[in-house]
Structure 1
Amino acid sequence: MAPKDYDAIVLASFGGPEGQEDVIPFLRNVTRGRGIPDERLEEVSHHYRAFGGISPINQQNRELKAAMEAELKRRGVDLPVLWGNRNWAPFIADTLKDAYDAGHRRILAVTTSAYSCYSSCRQYREDLGMALVETGLDGRLEVDKVRQYFDHPGFVEPFVEGLSAGLASVRSALAARGEHDAAVHVMFATHSIPMGDAEAAGPRSGDAADSPPAYEDGAYVAQHLATAQAILDRVPAAADAGWSLVYQSRSGAPHVPWLEPDINDALKDLAAGGGKGVVIVPLGFVSDHMEVVWDLDTEAKETCAELGLAVARVPTPGTHATFVSGLIDLVLERTTENIISERPALTELGPWYDVCRPNCCANRRGEKPTVAALDSTVGVSGLKPE
């Protein structure tokens, strides 16, 4: 996409409850349209309840917003950073309305999700598009989005640093147990999604000469595998380590197939095969939110303890200086003022598209207005502001 004169950035994220009384209303928002009763939601709320009903994600986004503001100031870039969530306050629609009322007319969105699939990309684009329609700002406020950044150096390098430290930690723990020659396995963990969504992730090949390639098993899996390899290639200490891509946080009807193996099943298989140590890399996540601190730091580490596996969990990018700088680089790829022309990508799959291709990460629940797409159903993409 050609550079534009953006006048604000919006940090768009998932959102999370900030007290016990917020948990069920939050889960209603997450599952809206699926007819799940409160009794069932209460059954799945235990991980939030265990942390006082507070998800870490909102505070992490406040810290990321502040870090982005500081990096912009350091570079002398005059762009305010706004913040809106899909499922909890501050909601995206309210953020866009406030932005318009403050005089902003052209906004660039940065989402806290690096990969391509319905829930990681298209749903954000739909939420932004629907917010414009619902607030009456369609045609009055323009919203674009930065590219998916799964293989941007700003996202990859913090994991490189973390994996190096994690391998050293686990090998030290094994040596203390007298298992000096024990092999260490690296598990790259990401959110499981339904197989249908995985297969629909990314653009599909068509008949046109310029059609993008199709990806075996979908772009979501392909991007994770490519990024994992890019990390391993940059960690000499991982040269003799086995590795695998595993999944976590499955939800939904049990008869619907989701991506596997589950991390806890994979840990059991590792131990059964004689494995002694594991480094868990939360490759699918930007920050240490609930699905990291519960599914990995609680459940997966409990599984490791039961199996006698030495374990280290690598930090997510969070507010790592390299990650924050990378996000600002992604913004400045798109601006007229302060533009940077370099578009780095550490895998052959990137750099990803600024504007999503037709049918990219198709919504099997029916089409909705979107931003940053060539197939917007109501013309929300590429609007001219007042």
Structure 2
Amino acid sequence: MPDERPHPYDALLLLSFGGPEGPDDVVPFLENVTRGRGIPRERLEEVGQHYFLFGGVSPINAQNRELLAALREDFAAHGLDLPVYWGNRNWAPYLTDTLRELVRDGRRRVLTVATSAYASYSGCRQYRENLADALAALQAEGLTPPRVDKLRHYFNHPGFVEPMTEGVLTALAALPADVRDGAHLAFTTHSIPTASADTSGPVATHGDGGSYVAQHLDAARRIAAAVRAATGVERPWELVYQSRSGAPHIPWLEPDVCDHLETLHGAGAPAVVMVPVGFVSDHMEVLYDLDTEALAKAGELGLPAVRSATVGADPRFVAGLRDLVLERAATERGERPERCALGALGPSHDVCPVGCCPARTPRPAAAGADSPFA
């Protein structure tokens, strides 16, 4: 365990996606998300209906506020003198504004934790591109941007895996006793284009789903094994996908969770637990695509189904992030801290190498080996 010194870092940045906080925010938020794609307003209003079902409010900002408060409380309780800031890619508080605040506060070395646990363009590289854009904007204003690093992927850290495992056990207990032991586990994550999946992670891992699929499978395998150890029951499980949003002619990762539920029902599965292993908190794609659409599909089929919890602001997850912050700080000081990871893949890289999760159109990205702001 690394010691309790954050040096050389003088701030932690919680970096997330953002979401609308009222009906009037929905379409402008979606315009931010889809900027440059030429999607007509009518289509955005159609997509926005998912948000309007929940009063036009995405839960993600409230969940980030809870995580922000939990990190600050945990750091203070452990004597860790590291202020925590929060910025979003697509809604207030905007990333550029938060970095500007960091500069005003005299912060020079910033460590970033993104609310995405896995390697992929949308889950890592795009955040790094947004960081580069924001740092360039500060530079254009005549400010000296801070050096920004990014925390390694935490999909296989005990602070992520253990709360996910407990969530599955709690969900199993909510099933009727006569179907509980036969319940299948459906580990769900966001579908992405297969081309993006195949090029996710370092170049050495490209192909056949790349790091995106491999990391999800590793986490799912570890959680399934822990559930088996706790219950004494070997349960069938599969990694499935949700929330596809691309053009129909472009291949995306499959099977879709609703299709998978139909397959399970047809095969005679007595019940299923949907495990949102790809998500850190219960944001809109969990509340709508799983809690609304997928549970409705299971109801139509007569298939008993429950959804397990995400890690949210679980104290073990928060403590895991603290552990990772201290690990990275010690590494930057030239020390050799223990790098905790479960499963078969081991700890991820600290610095994204050249060619890691490339975009189709190359853009500068911060917090990597090819960062223009090193």
TM-score bracket for the superposition, by shorter chain length:
over 0.9
Q: Equivalent residues in 2 for 1:204-223 (5 A)?
A: 204-205=203-204, 213-214=205-206, 216-223=208-215
Unaligned runs of 5+ in 2: 1-5
Match of 2:252 in 1: 258
Q: TM-score, normalised by structure 2?
A: 0.93
Residue equivalent to 2:3: none
2:196 is aligned to 197
Match for residue 350 of structure 2 among 354, 365, 384: 354
Which deviates more, 227-236 or 23-32? 227-236
Residue 224 of structure 2 aligns with an amino acid whose one-letter code is: L
CA contact (8 A) 2:132 2:366 kept: yes
User: 3-state SS of the aligned residue for 1:97?
Assistant: helix
Q: Does 1:319 align with 2:305?
A: no
Quick check: 2:103–2:144 contact (8 Å CA) kept in 1? no
Q: Does 2:271 match 1:270?
A: no
Deviation at 1:165, TM superposition (A): 1.8
Distance 1:118 1:138, change over 3 A: farther
Q: Deviations over 1:174-228 (max 9, x none)?
A: 52xxx58x721100000000111111101113xxxxxxx5463211000000110
Q: After the TM superposition, which residues 145-294 of structure 1 pair with which residues of structure 2 at under 5 Å, given as runs?
A: 145-170=150-175, 173-175=176-178, 183-205=182-204, 213-214=205-206, 216-235=208-227, 236=229, 237=231, 239-294=233-288
In the alignment, which residue of structure 1 is the partner of 2:12? 9
Identity %: 54
Cα–Cα, structure 1 residues 301 and 106, in superposed 2: closer, same or farther, change >3 Å? same
Corresponding residue for residue 37 of structure 1: 40
Q: Deviations over 1:110-163 (max 9, x none)?
A: 110000000000011111111000121786311111001110111110011111
Structure 2 residue identity aligned to 1:367: P
Cα displacement (A) at 1:329: 0.9
Q: Distance in 2 between matches of 1:253 and 1:281?
A: 26
Q: Is the counterpart of residue 115 in structure 1 residue 118 in structure 2?
A: yes
More helix by share: 2
1:317 CA drift (Å):
0.2
Aligned mates of 2:336, 2:307 — CA distance in 1:
34
Gaps of 5+ in 1: 206-212
State the AA in 2 paired with 1:232: A
Alpha-carbon distance between aligned partners in 2 of 1:356 and 1:151, rounded to the nearest angstrom: 17
Given that 1:184 and 1:279 are in contact with CA atoms closer than 8 Å, whether structure 2 keeps it comes out as yes
Q: Which residue of 2 aligns with 1:57?
A: 60
TM-score normalised by structure 1 residue count: 0.90
Question: Paired residue for 2:369, among 359, 369, 374?
Answer: 374
> Which residue identity does 2:324 align to in structure 1?
L
Alignment partners' CA distance in 2, 1:357 and 1:340: 20
Shift of 1:105: 1.0
> Number of residue pairs matched?
363
CA contact (8 A) 2:200 2:206 kept: no
Match of 1:72 in 2: 75
**2:337 counterpart (338, 341, 344):** 341
Residue 334 of structure 1 aligns to a residue whose secondary structure is: helix
Could you say which residue in structure 2 is the equivalent of 1:210? Answer: none
Does structure 1 conserve the Cα–Cα contact (< 8 Å) formed by 2:185 and 2:238?
A: yes
